[in-house]
């Protein structure tokens, strides 16, 4: 993708010379001779850099520099003039001019200035994006699991990461699809460039299209100036499309072109933009079924489905739950400044039995909430959301291929815990009143409490 430069110079020979020299350097260059034309171009196009004379017909170089910083704050401006004064240089620098060159100058000096300005611009854009996404960077390369299913996922990631192949990740919501895509990027040759994610389910047209491809001025209501899309930002890096099944047919057609030709046009624009990206897509839907229902393009599906990774739901890898639970316990205890370091056996059993329809994301939320509620060093079942203990399917035998006797005992233990906890909660831990409502002898009620690991003081 060529860097675009706008040259503003009223002397025609100088303007043509600069444009010719920069074009030979591989830049996409446009030249204009007046301040009015320059401001019009800045409103309708996006430029990586600006070179402007200070003295111009109409708006001068300072006015043009102000406009540049309004429509594209990170783009560098280089001011050139034959009327160099300290005052104009200071004003230009205050407005963010990268360099200030006085005529006559050597073209080689302009080349160096432009090259350095564009390098700084690229770093500024990357740093801005990284700061906006810093919260999601910590967990790169932190896939947790020892189950055969997750070991197979990690094995697949390590094989496909260096190949620069398009990857399709399928799995329920909350299974860690973005985390896996970040690991692929982290292990790939593109790791030193940006990883740019977008959730297609969050934005609706034309905003999704604008975020992806950028837009020209007036492309839709509210598009007051031209802007780049995230695909351009991901140049030389990895682009992650989450919930790809939710995009419209029109956007699907444009994404197909990106996959086939690595090019696109901005919304409302005519210029073809080429990018070098690796694309990873993810969905919680069955894309083959979407193809059969005609809601997803078959040709796009086959373009995406070069290498597929399936992330299993948490209920199919229960042996990973204790590892994940302690990982989130340590994370949120440290973040919240608490000293919760253990999970009681009863609480861990409930965590392991629960079906986690929201998968790893739901588990983390439950642990975070439990840490907030906890008053001691151990996370208890009383600290967990009520739904975890109240889930009637918790620990159902079909989730555990065990003997009839053991399965029956598991369900009885679960029933006893739930029954006792509800009664004690209703009576604020008063064992006498709880046993009376249950129609049980107080001593037998206490015996069941001890067997279930339930303490009166927790209520």
State pLDDT tens for residues 361-377. Answer: 999 999 999 999 998 99
Q: What is the mean pLDDT of residues 20-31?
A: 92
CATH 1.10.8.60 for domain 316-458:
yes
**310-314, 410-414, 439-443, range with the lowest pLDDT:** 410-414
| pLDDT in the model for residue 58 | 87
Provide the pLDDT confidence category of residue 128 given band limits of 50, 70 and 90. Answer: low
4-132 folds as Rossmann fold (3.40.50)
Q: Reply yes or no on whether the pLDDT at 272 is more than 60.
A: yes
CATH superfamily, domain at 142-312: P-loop containing nucleotide triphosphate hydrolases (3.40.50.300)
| pLDDT in the model for residue 396 | 46
- Fold equal for 4-132 and 316-458: no
Which span out of 105-109, 168-172, 399-403 was modeled with the highest average pLDDT?
A: 168-172
Q: Reply yes or no on whether the pLDDT at 21 is more than 80.
A: yes
Q: Quick one: CA torsion of 352, 357, 361, 367, rounded to 10 degrees?
A: -40
Percent of the chain with pLDDT over 70: 90
| pLDDT in the model for residue 80 | 84
Closest C-alpha among 54, 52, 109 to residue 75: 52
Q: Is 59 helix (H, G, I), strand (E, B) or coil?
A: coil
For the chain, the first-to-last Cα distance in angstroms comes to 64
| pLDDT in the model for residue 395 | 46
Q: What is the CB neighbour count within 10 angstroms for residue 263?
A: 13
Q: Reply yes or no on whether the pLDDT at 125 is more than 80.
A: no
Structure tokens at 183: 């690991």
| pLDDT in the model for residue 217 | 81
Query: pLDDT tens digits for 9-20?
Result: 999 998 999 999
Q: Is 321 helix (H, G, I), strand (E, B) or coil?
A: helix
Structure tokens at 244: 């790809």
Q: What is the mean pLDDT of residues 350-354?
A: 87
Say if CB 41 and CB 65 are below 8 A apart. no
**184-198, 224-238, 246-260, 331-345, range with the lowest pLDDT:** 224-238
Provide the pLDDT confidence category of residue 120 given band limits of 50, 70 and 90. Answer: confident
More confident residue, 311 or 403: 311
Q: Is 266 helix (H, G, I), strand (E, B) or coil?
A: coil
Host H or E run for residue 4: strand 4-8
Give bridge partners of residue 4 from the DSSP assignment: 28
Q: Is 384 helix (H, G, I), strand (E, B) or coil?
A: coil
Residues 303, 256: Cα–Cα separation, whole Å: 8
> Rounded mean pLDDT of the chain?
86
Structure tokens at 396: 């159902």
Query: pLDDT tens digits for 184-210?
Result: 999 999 998 889 999 998 888 778 999
Say if CB 153 and CB 311 are below 8 A apart. yes
Query: pLDDT tens digits for 65-99?
Result: 999 988 888 889 998 877 656 567 677 777 778 88
List C-alpha distances in Å: 87 to 51, 90, 100, 287.
19, 5, 12, 62
Residues 399, 353: Cα–Cα separation, whole Å: 8
| pLDDT in the model for residue 392 | 44
Residues 357, 403: Cα–Cα separation, whole Å: 26
| pLDDT in the model for residue 91 | 73
Say if CB 397 and CB 412 are below 8 A apart. no
Q: What is the mean pLDDT of residues 50-59?
A: 89
Q: Where are the domains of the chain?
A: 4-132, 142-312, 316-458
Q: What is the mean pLDDT of residues 220-228?
A: 79
Say if CB 153 and CB 175 are below 8 A apart. no
Burial of 279 (0-12, 13-18, 19+ CB in 10 A): buried
Q: Reply yes or no on whether the pLDDT at 133 is more than 60.
A: no
Host H or E run for residue 326: helix 321-336
Q: 3-class secondary structure for 185-236?
A: HHCCCCCCCCEEEEECCCCCCCHHHHHHHCECCCCCCCCCCCECCHHHHCCC
Say if CB 132 and CB 139 are below 8 A apart. no
Q: What is the mean pLDDT of residues 118-138?
A: 63
């Amino acid at each position: 993708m060529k860097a675009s430069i706008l040259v503003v110079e009223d002397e025609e020979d100088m303007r043509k010379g600069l444009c010719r020299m920069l074009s030979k350097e591989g830049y996409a260059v446009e030249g204009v001779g007046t301040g009015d034309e320059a401001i019009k171009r800045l409103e309708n196009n996006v430029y990586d850099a600006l070179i402007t004379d200070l003295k111009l017909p109409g708006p001068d170089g300072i006015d043009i520099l102000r406009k540049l910083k309004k429509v594209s704050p990170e783009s560098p401006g280089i001011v050139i003039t034959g009327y160099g004064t300290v005052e104009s240089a200071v004003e230009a620098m205050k407005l963010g001019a990268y360099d200030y060159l006085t005529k006559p100058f050597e073209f080689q000096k302009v080349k160096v200035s432009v090259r350095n300005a564009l390098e700084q611009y690229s770093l500024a854009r990357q740093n801005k994006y990284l700061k906006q996404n810093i919260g999601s960077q910590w967990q790169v390369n932190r896939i947790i699991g020892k189950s055969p299913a997750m070991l197979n996922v990690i094995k697949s990631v390590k094989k496909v990461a260096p190949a620069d192949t398009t990857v399709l990740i399928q799995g329920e919501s909350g299974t860690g699809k973005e985390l896996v895509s970040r690991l692929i990027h982290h292990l790939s040759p593109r790791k030193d460039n940006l990883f740019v994610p977008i959730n297609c389910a969050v934005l609706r047209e034309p905003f999704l299209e604008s975020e992806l491809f950028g837009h020209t001025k007036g492309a839709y209501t509210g598009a007051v100036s031209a802007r780049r899309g995230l695909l351009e930002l991901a140049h030389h890096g990895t682009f992650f499309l989450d919930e790809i099944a939710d995009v419209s047919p029109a956007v699907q057609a444009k994404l197909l072109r990106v996959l086939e030709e690595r090019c696109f046009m901005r919304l409302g624009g005519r210029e073809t933009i080429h990018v070098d990206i690796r694309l990873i897509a993810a969905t919680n839907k069955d894309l083959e079924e979407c193809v059969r229902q005609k809601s997803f393009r078959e040709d796009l599906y086959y373009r995406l489905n070069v290498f597929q990774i399936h992330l299993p739901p948490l209920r199919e890898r229960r042996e990973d739950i204790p590892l994940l639970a302690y990982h989130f316990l340590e994370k949120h205890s440290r973040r919240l400044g608490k000293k919760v370091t253990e999970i009681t056996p009863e609480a861990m059993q409930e965590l392991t039995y629960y079906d986690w329809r929201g998968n790893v994301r739901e588990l983390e939320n439950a642990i975070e909430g439990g840490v907030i509620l906890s008053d001691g060093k151990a996370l208890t079942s009383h600290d967990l959301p009520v739904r975890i203990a109240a889930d009637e399917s918790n620990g159902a035998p079909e989730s555990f291929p065990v003997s009839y006797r053991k399965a029956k005992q598991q369900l009885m233990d679960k029933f006893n815990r739930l029954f006792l906890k509800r009664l004690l909660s209703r009576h604020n831990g008063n064992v006498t009143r709880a046993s009376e409502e249950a129609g049980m002898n107080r001593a037998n009620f206490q015996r069941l409490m001890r067997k279930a690991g339930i303490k009166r003081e927790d209520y």
